[in-house]
Amino acid sequence: MAYGIEVRTADGKELVSLLTPMFVLDYITSSSGTRTYQVPSGKSLMLMKGTTQYGGSDQGAAKTSINGNTLTWSEADIQKNIVVYAG
């Protein structure tokens, strides 16, 4: 006998199959720079930014720009970090 759980959304969709794996490529705390990444086929370069503000505001976060597989950033630090991933 097999045991396990299912996680479903409020409308009955099976949640695990809705999630897409992501591949963390970098964790940036340096103040500014530019880096180019090799992104797995079928994925896009994406990022999450730490912020000194609360409530989901982008104010107080590092300034970033993505052009293809190249990320340029400024005003980053340990609190305003950048997590770069392919998703």
Contacts of 59 (CB under 8 A, 6+ apart): 51, 53
pTM for the model stands at 0.71
Angle at 84 between CA 83 and CA 87, to 5 degrees: 120
pLDDT (tens digit per residue) in 1-35: 567 777 777 888 777 766 777 789 999 999 999 99
